[in-house]
Amino acid sequence: MSQRILIVDDSSSDLKMLANVLRDEFAVSLASSGREALELAVREPPDLLLLDILMPDMDGFAVLDAWLAQEVTRGIPVIFLTVLEAVEDKIRGLAAGAVDYITKPFEPLEVKARVRVHLALRRALRQLEEQNEELRRAARLREEVEAIARHDLKNPLHTILCATDLVPLHGPLTPEQREDLATVQRAAVTILDIINRYFDLFRIEHGLYRFEPVEVDLVAVARRVVKDINGLFQQKGLRIDLRFRDAPLAEDDRLFVRGEETLCYSLLANLVKNAMEASPPNALILIAFDEEEGRPTVRITNEGEVPEEMRPRFFAKFATAGKEHGTGLGTYSARRIAELLGGSVELLTDVPGRTTVRVQLCK
């Protein structure tokens, strides 16, 4: 279908000339006044308006104001037709919202060239907007699928984890039963971890995560993380020491940050699990809360050192070493979440035989 051009000019000779120039390539509608043009455009919106400036009753600037005020015509480009040579008049036209101008008397080749350029640009912008709308629809669909997946997958997994914690309370287990139970727990935690990481990372990396910060108690979040993965700590014989400003963590200790509880949970869970996986059996993991450089800070320290060659890419995507089931997403996800929260995360290896990850967030 040909693109439609609406030409508005009070000069019948100019209308006829422009129509003759453009009709072989485009559909053309003609109007001899601004009011007639506005009425035509509402009934049959064109793809481009060629608008004379100097017209009686309603000049081009008044028509352009009305054109931009109407929703149906607001996005349709306007080229001014003018005998005005003064630069300030042309600037005024462009500032008012016109995309270009053609000076009278008309040169047919110039008219066609300018019309082609702006119609091609309009077609490209329309296609881009359609593609953007498709992307927006896809993003909405992904968010809906994600919400369903989070609910339908995570709830049963939490049930599995709670049930496996209760099984030993019903009586002593054989070594084989304990091992089978541990296998179920590891699998459930792994699946839950993968769900959290992939969904959060996908949204963050694609700019789909809507960050709505509130006040979050990082200490309370850490307590929940430790409770949720306590079974894994016990299997490896690991001990956890929670400290607040160099003292044992007390019941009423709090450390508030600006963030979201889900993100803070994922951030700490990733780093604590990483420390757990990297620790030797029966080792100690220290989680220490404080305020450093005026910012809420948590340090997670485990026994064992990160290999020299691994340190520069410790927070890189898919970087892992020495872990049987490592995905290389834990520390990477923690870094991306910390950045989204306006904070930072860094690897500290200054104490021989130990590894510390320091997280600093915003108040």
The answer to whether residue 131 sits within a structural domain is no
* Whole-number pLDDT of residue 83: 80
What is the average per-residue pLDDT within 211-219?
A: 91
Do 154 and 281 lie in one domain? The reply is yes
Mean pLDDT over residues 202-206, rounded? 71
> Would residue 114 count as lying in a domain?
no
Clarify whether residues 17 and 158 are in a common domain: no
Do 356 and 275 form a contact (C-beta atoms < 8 A)? no
More confident residue, 93 or 328: 93
Q: Please tell me whether residues 55 and 199 are part of one structural domain.
A: no
The residue out of 106, 128, 150 marking a domain boundary is 106
pLDDT for the residue numbered 16: 92
What percentage of the chain has pLDDT greater than the value 70? 88
Same domain, 42 and 152: no
Kindly report whether the global pTM for this prediction surpasses the value 0.85.
no
Residues 252 and 353 in one domain: yes
Domain-embedded: residue 123:
no
Please give the average per-residue pLDDT across 40-67, as a whole number.
90
Q: Are residues 173 and 225 in the same domain?
A: yes
78: domain CATH number? 3.40.50.2300
Residues 145 and 266 in one domain: yes
Q: Are residues 25 and 163 in the same domain?
A: no
Same domain, 54 and 153: no
The answer to whether residues 71 and 178 belong to one domain is: no
Q: Does the pLDDT at position 361 exceed 90?
A: yes
Which range is least confidently modeled, 94-108, 238-252, 339-353? 94-108
* Degrees, nearest 5: CA angle 131-134-135: 90
Please give the Cα distance from 330 to 269 (Å, whole number): 9
Place of tokens 């608008």: 51
Q: What is the pLDDT of residue 106?
A: 86
Last residue of a domain, one of 83, 106, 129: 106
Domain holding 250: CATH number? 3.30.565.10
Q: What is the pLDDT of residues 302-357, one digit of tens each?
A: 998 888 888 888 888 766 655 555 456 778 888 989 998 999 999 998 888 899 99
**How does pLDDT run across 233-242, given as a tens digit for each residue?**
888 889 999 9
Specify the pLDDT at position 313: 87
**Does residue 143 surpass a pLDDT of 90?**
no
pLDDT confidence tier of residue 206, bands split at 50, 70 and 90:
low
Whether 203 maps to a domain, the answer reads yes
**75 and 158 part of one domain:** no
pLDDT, position 134:
81
- pLDDT-wise least confident of 16-30, 63-77, 179-193, 253-267: 179-193
Average pLDDT, integer, range 175-195: 76
Counting the structural domains of the chain, the total is 2
Q: Which of 106, 125, 152 is the last residue of a domain?
A: 106
Q: Are strands 354-360 and 344-348 parallel, antiparallel or unpaired?
A: antiparallel
Range of the domain at 74: 4-106
Residue 342 lies in a domain: yes
Residue 57 has what pLDDT?
83
Please indicate, yes or no, if residue 204 is contained in any of the structural domains.
yes
Is 330 part of any domain? yes
Q: Flag whether 84 is in a domain.
A: yes
Based on the domain organization, do 200 and 335 belong to the same domain? yes
pLDDT of 151 over the 90 cut: no
pLDDT given for residue 346 in this prediction: 94
